[in-house]
Amino acid sequence: MGRYTLRRLLQMIPVFIGSTFLIFFMVYALGDPVAALFGDKAPDPATAARIREDLYLDEPLWRQYAHYMGQIFSGHFGTAFNGQPVTELMASAFPVTLRLTLVAVAFEMALGITLGVLSGLRRGRGLDTSVLLLTLVVVSVPTFVSGTVLQYLFGVTWGWARPSVSPEAPLNELLLPGVVLGLVSLAYTTRLTRTSIVENARADYVRTAVAKGLPRHRIVTRHLLRNSLIPVVTFIGTDIGALMGGAIVTERIFNIHGVGYQLYQGILRQNSPTVVGFVTILVIVFLLANLLVDLLYAVLDPRIRYA
């Protein structure tokens, strides 16, 4: 286990460098951060040259990247164009997005597993078919459509939720955005749980449990569910990382000042330090989430052994 973890950590290094360099390349080489500083006006050539020199932008790209990464690992993420340190932006944005993600994950776990178990136990019947069709419909409605429509219905027409979230983003205001964010993952959780239940329902240990005369609810909760939830738990684990990076649309619709909002603003204004800094953190979160899920897999399923 220890050796496996170490090997995976070492494997993460080239992936981390590759991903962050790609983003760095796109932001710094395809766009022009100095021109972006001046907005619509063209910069004075002497000033621009001076800024380039101060910010190491006149050096080759790989030197810029190495310098940037060196600063990141000593905790300096640079300053945004308005003079605010990027770390300050992160400190205000990440807790908000984390809360939003937790709401989404709680929602998809509670509803997705329930629906998946119910339809998996009644394979081929009316409930099963309608749940499967419903998940397909949910998957095919893009988040920006479902978000706008639900915001209009719940927030404006019926007045059950606030259509726009305040900057502090307390948990109760994040309920509706969390549901919107978790909707597509909910469909996948449901289908995954259903598949897993259907597969395990034919397993020998379930037949043994039935033959022993155990009550049905005990067979389902103790025997079937425990084994069927392994892939679901690992899926939800990786989903946490994905949802954090994917909240851009939801945060834009509901005006939540989280990671997605800061990134969107940063990209629109070509605020390079913000963009690269946030994406670097997101890539790290994502890679670590994947590693944790793989380790969790071995803990949950003793048949899997890491050499």
Residue 168: Cβ within 10 Å count:
9
Site for another protein in 154-173 (CB under 8 A): 156
Candidates 64, 200, 250, 274; binder of another protein (CB under 8 A) is: 250
Residue 239: Cβ within 10 Å count:
23
Report, in Å, the least distance between residue 242 CB and another protein: 3
* Cβ atoms 178, 104 nearer than 8 A: yes
The dihedral region occupied by 39, where left means phi > 0, alpha psi between -120 and 50, and beta the remainder, is left
Stretch that binds another protein, among 70-78, 84-92, 167-175, 191-199 (CB under 8 A): 191-199
* Cβ atoms 293, 234 nearer than 8 A: yes
Q: Does residue 9 touch another protein according to CB under 8 A? A: no
Nearer to another protein, 26 or 210 (CB): 26
Phi, psi of 80, deg, nearest 5: -75, 175
Site for another protein in 197-236 (CB under 8 A): 198-199, 231, 234-235
Stretch that binds another protein, among 65-73, 75-83, 210-218, 265-273 (CB under 8 A): 265-273
Q: Classify residue 194 by burial, with Cβ atoms within 10 Å: 0-12, 13-18, 19+.
A: buried
Q: Which residues pair with 79 in a beta bridge?
A: 85
Stretch that binds another protein, among 44-52, 70-78, 87-95, 250-258 (CB under 8 A): 250-258
Candidates 219, 253, 256, 281; binder of another protein (CB under 8 A) is: 253
Residue 128: Cβ within 10 Å count:
17
Nearer to another protein, 25 or 214 (CB): 25
Report, in Å, the least distance between residue 212 CB and another protein: 27
Q: Classify residue 139 by burial, with Cβ atoms within 10 Å: 0-12, 13-18, 19+.
A: middle
Q: Does residue 265 touch another protein according to CB under 8 A? A: no
Candidates 89, 131, 275, 281; binder of another protein (CB under 8 A) is: 275
